[in-house]
Homo-oligomer: A and B are copies of this chain.
């Protein structure tokens, strides 16, 4: 689910609550429009391995003035997590520790690829793939975890399994049979949902292959579903 950050910001402000607003953008940065400054986020975190199309190994932090003031006032002893060292060294183009150099070269290329395509086109591509994924879910007769269309995510779609069927057993069957790894449910959703990633360097035919793996997996796992999810997604993709 995509959080409605500007509204959360407004709610915090309306309540005059002093909390910092932290946003985890690992699965959404460079997939969905996101505005750290404009939306008044205090701390934005991200990683290299999703929308930035790199191997895992880099993380990113963006800070507001308010977050920096909080850092200065904080009394928790810290060293590695002390942003001041990083801010000071970054100013001169350096890092306080040996960075993952190879990934920085990769990042330069990833950003060039995103710029070449244009961020608006990247966001539109992900929105379109998400829409086709939801069309498949609907055709299968599966409910989405996100019930509010304003919270539909353009990078991940989570589906609820029919009651009495284990999502993780389905995931395991699909991994073994089709070499495809779906996301698991975390915490109280464990076993009850599975997540379909359609983010990063991803296109129509990769989504078709993904949904085909799920449709065949559902049949093989004898999970009750209506056929036609892939067909519904293709209809949507060819029509838009």
- Please list the residues of chain A having a beta carbon within 8 angstroms of any beta carbon in chain B: 47, 49, 55-57, 76-77, 80-81, 98-103, 178-180, 203-206, 208-210, 212-213, 215-216, 219-220, 227-228, 230-231, 234, 237-238
Q: Which residues of B lie under 8 Å from residue A234 when comparing CB positions?
A: 212, 215-216, 230
| Beyond known contacts A205-B212, A230-B231: 7 more, CB 8 A cutoff | A55-B103, A56-B102, A57-B57, A57-B103, A179-B203, A230-B230, A230-B234
Assess whether A208 is in contact with B204, with CB atoms less than 8 Å apart.
no
Instruction: Choose among B49, B100, B179, B231 the residue that contacts A56 (Cβ–Cβ < 8 A).
Output: B100
Q: Which residues of B lie under 8 Å from residue A206 when comparing CB positions?
A: 209
In whole angstroms, how far apart are the Cα atoms of A160 and B103 in the complex?
35
Task: For A238, give the chain B residue with the smallest CB separation.
Answer: B216
Q: Which residues of B lie under 8 Å from residue A230 when comparing CB positions?
A: 208, 212, 230-231, 234
In whole angstroms, how far apart are the Cα atoms of A12 and B2 in the complex?
55
In whole angstroms, how far apart are the Cα atoms of A212 and B216 in the complex?
15
Instruction: Choose among B102, B205, B209, B237 the residue that contacts A57 (Cβ–Cβ < 8 A).
Output: B102
Assess whether B227 is in contact with A231, with CB atoms less than 8 Å apart.
yes
Q: Which residues of B lie under 8 Å from residue A47 when comparing CB positions?
A: 98
Q: Determine how close the nearest CB of chain B comes to the CB of A28; give it in whole angstroms.
A: 15
Q: Which residues of B lie under 8 Å from residue A55 when comparing CB positions?
A: 100-103
Assess whether B56 is in contact with A98, with CB atoms less than 8 Å apart.
yes
Q: Which residues of B lie under 8 Å from residue A103 when comparing CB positions?
A: 55, 57
Cross-chain pairs A/B with CB under 8 angstroms, 20 sampled:
A49-B98, A56-B99, A56-B101, A57-B57, A57-B102, A76-B77, A178-B203, A179-B205, A180-B205, A204-B216, A205-B212, A208-B209, A208-B212, A212-B230, A212-B234, A216-B238, A227-B231, A228-B231, A230-B230, A231-B231
